[in-house]
Amino acid sequence: MTVKPLRRRAALRLASLGLIGSLLTLGVGAGPSARAAADERQGPKPTVVLVHGGWADASSWNAVVHRLEDRGYPVIAPANPLRDLQTDAAYLSSVLATISGPIVLVGHSYGGMVLTDAAIGNRNVKALVYIAAFAPDVGDSIQTLEAMNPGSEVGPSTLTLRPYPGGVDAYITPGVFHHVFCADLPTSIAAVMAATQRPIDAAAVAEPSGPPAWRTIPSWYLVASDDHAIPPATERFMAKRAGATTVEISSSHVAMVSHPDAVVELIEAAAAGLVTK
């Protein structure tokens, strides 16, 4: 009397196993190892290079790095010296020269100034991604771009200057750091970021940019509509001028910290069309 129910249960079990196998083949519910295997079949992915700006360091990309590495991307987040545009661009260029294969070059804030100059002449750089970043044209400086539209709260009243041998470092004054730099982050996180901020040489704001890499390399841009450091209107202008594929989100200046998923999505969109042979 129990033969038929047992056979029915066995048939259902085999059917369910077949369904699971089909779902895994399609990648539905696949874990990291299954996704990695699928990525391997599709070929190697481009290296993503993440360039931080002033008042931050490479750790500002941590959440983005975790997500990209989970998706199989090689990632490098070098330390931007933050001394002067020529020196910083030369340093980044030297890092890029060590990478074989296609590169997606991503910059935040002043990091956009640096990558715009550093990518010139490097044929491996296939895409530029600006995250609430400066995307200068030849002759532009941070100073001239900031003056284009009202809205930036970075200036003499919000900066603390500290001389060092050879120059003067500019810090965002800790008492206003949260509001100016990262208003959509918890106060406790903002306090740590203020205490550990990397200063930028004050003279760097007046340095003019060279010929822009975005004239010959496709670009993507994330506009942070609640940015208190770079006016959102200026971000929209720079994105349009560069012909960038643009998205806009409600974010403070540090979108890579407060909205890492949106940043990763834009980076993957830039990487999607690259030849990675």
Instruction: Please compute Rg for the chain using Cα positions.
Output: 23
User: What pLDDT is attached to residue 44?
Assistant: 86
**Structure confidence at residue 36 (pLDDT):** 46
Residues in the chain, total: 277
Give me the chain's average pLDDT, please: 88
The per-residue pLDDT for range 76-87, each reduced to its tens digit, is: 999 999 999 999
Are 241 and 148 a contacting pair, CB within 8 Å?
no
Distance of CA 127 to the CA centre of its chain: 12
Q: 27 pLDDT band (50/70/90 cuts)? A: very low
List, for residues 135-192, the tens digit of each pLDDT value: 999 999 999 999 999 999 999 999 999 999 999 999 999 999 999 999 999 999 999 9
Q: Which CATH superfamily is domain 46-272 in?
A: Alpha/Beta hydrolase fold, catalytic domain (3.40.50.1820)
Please state the domain extents for the chain: 46-272
pLDDT higher than threshold 50 for residue 16: no
Give the Cβ contact number of residue 131 at 10 Å: 32
CA distance 236 to 240: 6
Pairwise CA distance, residues 235 & 215, whole Å: 17
Whether 99 and 67 have beta carbons less than 8 Å apart is answered as no
- Asked whether 100 and 125 are in contact (CB, 8 A), the reply is no
What contacts 38, CB < 8 A, 6 or more positions away?
Answer: 27, 30
Helix and strand tally (H, E) in the chain?
11, 9
- Look up the pTM and report it: 0.85
